[in-house]
Amino acid sequence: MAQKSWFLKGDVVSGAVLAALGVYIISEARQWNYVGPEGPGPGFFPMWYGIAMVVLSLWLVVVSAVRPAVAGAKVDWKGVGRAMLVWAVFALCTALLKLLGLLTVLALLTLFIVGVMYGKSLKIACAAAAGNALGFYLVFSLALNVGLPVGPLGF
Amino acid sequence: MTLRTSIIMAACAAALAAGPAWAQFKPTKPVEIVVHTGPGGGADVLARFMTQLIEKENLAPVRFQVNNRDGGGGLRAMAYVAEKKGDTHTIAIFTGNWLTNPLVRAEAKFTLKDMQPVARLVLEPAVVAVKADAPFKTMKDFIEAAKKTPGTLKQSGGSQTSRDNVVRQLLMKSTGANWAYISFPGGGERIAALLGGHVNMMVIEPQEAGEHIKAGNMRVIAQVAEKRLAPYPNVPTLKEAGYEIPNVPQVRGVVMPSGVAPDVVAYYEDLFQRMVKTPTWRKYLEDQQFEDGFQKSVELGKFFDTFTNQMREILKEAGTPVVR
Amino acid sequence: MDVLANLGHGFIVALEPLNLFWCFAGVFLGTVVGVMPGLGPAATIAMLLPLTFKMPPTSALIMLAGIYYGAKYGGSTTAILLNVPGESASVVTCLDGYQMARKGRAGAALGIAAIASFIAGTVGVVALMLVAPPLAKFGLAFSSPEYFALMVLGLAMVVLLAGESLVKALLAMLVGLWIAGMGIDLFSDASRFTFGNSEMLDGVDFVIVAIGVFALSEVFANMEQREEGTMLPVPKGLRNLLPTMAELKACRFAFLNGSVVGFIIGVLPGAGSTIASFISYGLEKAVSKHPEKFGTGVPEGVAAPEGANNSETGGALVPLLTLGIPGSGTTAILLAAFVLWGLKPGPLMIQDNPELFWGLVASMYVGNVMLLVLNLPLIPLFAQILKLPSYLLYPIILGISLVGVYTVSSSLFDCYMLAAFGLLGYLMRRLDYPSAPLILGLVLGDAMERALRQSLMMSQGDLGILVSRPISATMLVLAVLLLIMPLFRKFNSWRVRAIEENG
């Protein structure tokens, strides 16, 4: 029960976001032909799922807003923060792929997760980073001959 | 390829270009053939056949490798080639899509004008086919039936800008008949729709239709070709059947990044000229029922211009928004 | 009997030492590319195609087909162990397979996947052998209205995949439909929801969304706690690594269901193995005595989709070999290979090249046995990966996800989108939106819109075409039944509760 009210609030927020997405879909769909000379146009289908999305999400918002909140709600914001931090670093890593190549990026990502997120010693973190990059090199580049994104140094 | 080697390569190319006339360009490392489809697509199969042929006949000192840059409706491959300005070890297979796509896509950053024409290789004819038990024996039967009940006859085909639809638009315009066009993403589904009796007609590559005709499931009523194809000596081309519309071939050939020296272009031009003379290539054309469409760089550049203008007019008339 | 004599002849071809070797090479390669996400059979076959020109066509075909069905065996491995779908059809396997692994039954899940694949793969070949020509005719009776009804039936599965809230499941499905609609519209050449970005013109690849929403969100959610914990218990001993008799018994119907559904859907050129595995999973859940346990790691939930996925291969070869009509990317490449060898698949192929057809069929029996023998011993080996401490396992999963997405079409843009979908998956998980309906909408959306518009073009706008054709009408009725079934259940449980409370 502890997280119930947060979920309710989450439903209101996510419902509102989805309703906005639905409105966006409808507004885009209105720019395309609804029905053309050959039959239903590109706007036909998006119009309908856009409308369905708005209706359903508003329904979700209303139902969860009306439902009484349960006391003692608590969100593990720290946990969510940790997850979002990992996500942000992962996103940064994908952005660095072009510059550094996959193996370097993977080593950095491993270093971060092992060293920072799990607080292991620098020695372990470095070994894990090097091992992971080496493993990917052996499996994908060498054994399977998959083309990986490479950096300026050729790896 | 790394940045450093590309700089070195570019420097070498520049040195070669500036050098004396006898310093002929020769590739020094594997040449990349860019195609805009995934493995198994039409351009991909052609490119892989070419790599095989070049190796077997020892036409070049290095290997050729296929690089699939699929996605973006073909625009990704075009951007990839155009951005490799000056690269002497990259070539690409172009198709008619490379000419028409930039006309209708606002997202396109490059056109074939941003690339160096090398050689045109094949022209792919097509045939107009109906189901074997359909009442239409000739193109005229079909057109007359379409005139009687406008909009009820159906043709299966690919996207709006595909050759199938262009032929339909041209025929409808010149005859005043009207029939529906139903898009299917895969060639298999198009044939299945015809054989299942869900549509009445399709424009199909002769090689694809061959077995269905032999098995008695399909009938050819006209050919979309300059002259009659060997397997169908008794079927008239559209022109012969009395429909004066421009011939719309599916075209494939080779381009490369712009900004390369003339001797580089000359090298590849000569390579493909030697390739199309091999018996293996002749047999390939025959098996696939392609027409030999070999053209050198300069003529190909002119072909691009006329083809683009022609397509622009056709698309405009078909009501497809043209952006450039 | 004619078939037996032909098959006997086929076995003589398939059991030639050289052909046995190529068959093994094919299924082995297939398993490897199947295990690796992103690497698919289509690309592998295309890359090996030039090499096969030097081989006799029968041997070459035996090997290439081996890659095709071998890849389907391998696809479940990463789905079960890491929640990373190895290929599109393994998404459904993630639902229960990964949950089984979390309960310490990773080995059992892998074993059931292998056994289901073996049974259904073999059934698929039997069916291909016995009923190919008449069934191909049935496939032709399917056109856009029937496909539309099939997709509706598939979307109706959403009520079976929904968690606590049907509204949220439907919303997730609608988002899936929206993502499916991104890119160029086939009919009008208009680009939709591409944000002016040319990389988006072909839409969003299914693998990117599946890996982001399943694998990445799992990693992010697990990173919330710093404690490593023993994430996935791996029991010792061979016995605990293989499915128990009780688990196998629970899968009896699933094996049959997967085999039949997979084959029938495989025959239709416009469907595909992902749709087959979804429908088979839904059917299994619909008839199950304990539908509420699906998604928590029930063996049937692994057996049905894995079976369907493998039996689909046999089905997909029906239109390819008897009509020359490819139904998927992989069969399209096989068709291209045939043409390059100068063979012409089509109505006359079985008559003209009996050695090739029957040799291939026989080799598929042999290949399925090889795959089972090859895969079962690998299970304990693969299960070892779960013994890695989580701080090592997670970076590996993230790396495999990146590589898997990148190999789809060597595009960095796809990697950026992976990050975005990882975030979406995590948020959905936190906010209690089920992810399977999103994938369902994504898989079916494009085909459904297309089929609807094609139907209405055929009928000149008359919606009657959807219900006036017997096959599509039947499927639409089934879909409606599926949709109202939970209402009955709910009503029943209310009634029971009401009676209990009153009494």
pLDDT (tens digit per residue) in C285-306: 888 888 888 888 999 999 999 9
Fold of B3-17+25-123+249-317: D-Maltodextrin-Binding Protein; domain 2 (3.40.190)
Specify which residues B155 forms β-bridges with: B181, B201
pLDDT for position B16: 45
**Highest-pLDDT range among A19-23, A120-124, A140-144:** A19-23
Beta carbons of B180 and A38 less than 8 Å apart: yes
- How many domains does chain C contain in total? 1
Numbered ranges of CATH 3.40.190.150 in chain B: 3-17+25-123+249-317
Residues C169-176 have a mean pLDDT of: 94
**Which stretch of B5-9, B79-83, C442-446, C477-481 has the lowest confidence by average pLDDT?**
B5-9
Residue of A32, A38, A98 for testing the chain B interface, max B β-carbons within 10 Å = A38
Please give the pLDDT value at position C382. 83
Mean pLDDT within B211-231 = 88
Indicate if the pLDDT at residue A78 is higher than 80: yes
Tell whether the model's pLDDT for residue B1 goes beyond 70.
Answer: no
Q: Report how far Cα A78 is from the mean position of its chain's Cα atoms.
A: 18
Q: Within 10 A of C180 (CB to CB), how many other CB atoms are there?
A: 23
Q: How far apart are CA C51 and CA C130, in angstroms?
A: 32
Most confident option among A30-44, C150-164, C378-392, C464-478? C464-478
- pLDDT-based confidence at C346, cuts 50/70/90? confident
Task: Please name the member of B2, B180, B181 whose beta carbon is closest to the beta carbon of A154.
Answer: B2
Instruction: Report whether pLDDT(C487) > 80.
Output: no
* Residues 6+ away with beta carbon under 8 Å from C224: A76, A79, A80, A82, A83
- Kindly state whether C416 is in contact with chain B, defined as any CB-CB distance less than 8 angstroms: no
Q: What is the pLDDT of residue B163?
A: 86
Average pLDDT over residues B243-253: 86
Rounded distance, CA B175 to CA B146, Å?
A: 10
Q: Is C244 on the interface with B (CB under 8 A)?
A: no
C49: chain B residues, CB-CB within 8 Å: 48
Task: Write out the residues of chain A at the interface with chain B, using a CB-CB cutoff of 8 A.
Answer: 38-39, 150, 152-154
Does the pLDDT at position C141 exceed 90? no
Give me the mean pLDDT over the C326-349 stretch: 79
Asked if pLDDT for residue C402 goes beyond 50, the answer is yes
Q: Which residue segment(s) compose the domain that C207 sits in?
A: 2-502
Which secondary structure element, helix H or strand E, spans residue B218, and what is its range? strand B218-224
Check CB contact under 8 Å for A154 and B3. Answer: no
Instruction: State the smallest CA–CA distance between residue B270 and chain C in angstroms.
Output: 24
| Model confidence pTM above 0.80 | yes
Q: What would the pLDDT profile of B137-174 be if each residue is shown by its tens digit?
A: 999 999 999 999 988 899 998 887 888 888 998 899 88
Confidence (pLDDT) at C353: 83
Domain(s) labelled CATH 3.40.190.10 in chain B stretch across: 126-224
Q: Choose from B66, B70, B81, B182 for mutation: most chain C CBs within 10 A.
A: B182
Lowest mean pLDDT among A86-90, C324-328, C339-343: C339-343
DSSP states along C262-317: HHHHHHSTT--HHHHHHHHHHHHHHH-S-GGGTTS--THHHHHHHHHHHHHHHHHH
Q: Of how many residues is chain C composed?
A: 503
Put simply, the chain B residues between 274 and 303 with a CB less than 8 A from any chain C CB are 287-288
Q: How many C-beta atoms surround the C-beta of residue B242 within 10 A?
A: 12
What percent of chain A has a predicted confidence (pLDDT) above 70? 89
Q: Which residues contact B189 (CB under 8 A, 6 or more apart)?
A: B156, C269, C270, C325
**ipTM for the assembly:** 0.90
- Confidence at C231, pLDDT banded by 50, 70, 90: low
The architecture that CATH gives domain B126-224 is 3-Layer(aba) Sandwich (3.40)
Give percent of chain B above pLDDT 70: 93
Q: Is the pLDDT of residue C1 over 80?
A: no
Of A5-14, B206-215, C226-235, highest mean pLDDT: B206-215
Question: Is B48 or B319 the better-scoring residue by pLDDT?
Answer: B48
Maximum average pLDDT range among A111-120, B209-218, C31-40: A111-120
